[in-house]
Amino acid sequence: MTKLCLDVDELTEDFFDDTCLLGITSTIKSYQFCWSINQALNYQFRLNRDIEIQLRRRERSYYFRVYEHKVRHTQLSHYIYHNYNDGEYLLPEFRNMDFLWLMKGDNIETSTCLQLMQVIKSLNGVQLVAELTNEKIRNKGHLIF
């Protein structure tokens, strides 16, 4: 009998092809942050419970909210992850980031990413916006839904 092995590293790399990931530090709640983004950019971010991330640590489950916005007539989707839940972090290597913004589905131009960062920085309650490169992320698998 032949055993098949799932190559998780390859799956993770495929998931992160053509993506841009931003880390955001903010003093406001996730629903308020998404509302501000929706107002500033005319986006339609909505909580998507179907892709909520569940992590199990220390015999306990933690759930991390994911908000989603799909750009019409393209393959591009935006996801905002809440990085913190009840003392645990989705990406512990970025404890200072409250939100993680992933753009996926189309080739994202560097200029588009930079323009988006400028808009996010201008919002009330946002303290920091930084692009997170794939090399800096140790727990990439936590972002896959």
The tens digit of pLDDT for each residue in 9-36 reads 666 666 666 788 999 999 999 999 999 9
Torsion angle of the four alpha carbons 85, 89, 91, 97, in this order, in degrees rounded to the nearest 10: 80
Is residue 66 predicted with pLDDT exceeding 90? Answer: yes
Task: Compute the distance between CA of residue 112 and CA of residue 28 in angstroms, rounded to an integer.
Answer: 24
> What per-residue confidence (pLDDT) applies to 93?
92
Is residue 42 predicted with pLDDT exceeding 90? Answer: yes
Q: What average pLDDT does this structure show over 38-66?
A: 93
> What per-residue confidence (pLDDT) applies to 109?
83
Q: Give the tens place of pLDDT for each residue, 95-129.
A: 999 999 999 887 788 888 899 999 999 999 999 99
Domains in the chain: boundaries:
20-143
Task: Compute the distance between CA of residue 96 and CA of residue 83 in angstroms, rounded to an integer.
Answer: 9
pLDDT higher at 13 or 88: 88
pTM for the full model? 0.86
Q: What average pLDDT does this structure show over 125-142?
A: 85
Per-residue tokens: 137: 């992320």
Contacts with 50 (C-beta within 8 Å, 6 or more apart), sequence order: none
> What per-residue confidence (pLDDT) applies to 31?
92
Neighbour tally for 43: CB within 10 Å: 16
| The residue to which tokens 């988006």 are assigned | 116
